[in-house]
């Protein structure tokens, strides 16, 4: 949410800037064959523009939206309280185990 792959020469978005959602992401999500799951890793969702354009769309159109971030409420089953780096390291271990068992 802090970059724009559609306009590489445009202004950069830095942490604590409002953020933006690039149009091609919204267009790819708004297809007739919508995904069943969304995974949001390491993003606090505090940017109003991103929340209005993307997060709200995900919550309204995707049956399961799972969040991974260190400040997630562990009592909420819709997320995992863990830093992104640790989550991806564990996910990598899981994939290796799955690959080796087949």
Q: List the domain range (segments joined by +) for residue 88.
A: 36-101
> Does 14 fall in a domain?
no
Total residue count of the chain as it appears in this document = 102
Task: Note whether residue 19 is domain-resident.
Answer: no
Percent over 90 (pLDDT), the chain = 50
Q: What is the pLDDT of residues 57-82, one digit of tens each?
A: 999 999 999 999 999 999 999 999 99
Q: How many domains does the chain have?
A: 1
Q: In this structure, is residue 12 part of a structural domain?
A: no
Instruction: Note whether residue 22 is domain-resident.
Output: no
17: in domain:
no
Q: How many CB atoms lie within 10 A of CB 21?
A: 19
Let me know if residue 40 belongs to a domain. yes
Give the pair of three-digit tokens for residue 3.
């970059």
Structural domain contains residue 78: yes
Question: Position of tokens 């995992």?
Answer: 80
Given pLDDT bands bounded at 50, 70 and 90, which one contains residue 92? very high
In a domain, 18, yes or no: no
Tell me if 42 sits within 8 A of 24, measured CB to CB: no
């Amino acid at each position: 949410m802090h970059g724009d792959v559609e306009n590489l020469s445009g202004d950069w978005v830095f942490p604590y800037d409002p953020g933006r959602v690039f149009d091609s992401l919204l267009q790819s999500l708004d297809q007739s064959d919508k995904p069943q799951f969304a995974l949001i890793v390491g993003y606090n969702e505090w940017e109003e523009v991103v929340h209005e354009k993307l997060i709200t769309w995900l919550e309204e159109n995707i049956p399961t939206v799972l969040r991974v971030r260190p400040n997630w409420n562990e009592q909420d089953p819709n997320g995992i309280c863990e830093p992104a780096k640790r989550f991806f390291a564990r996910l990598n271990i899981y994939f290796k185990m799955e690959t080796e068992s087949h």
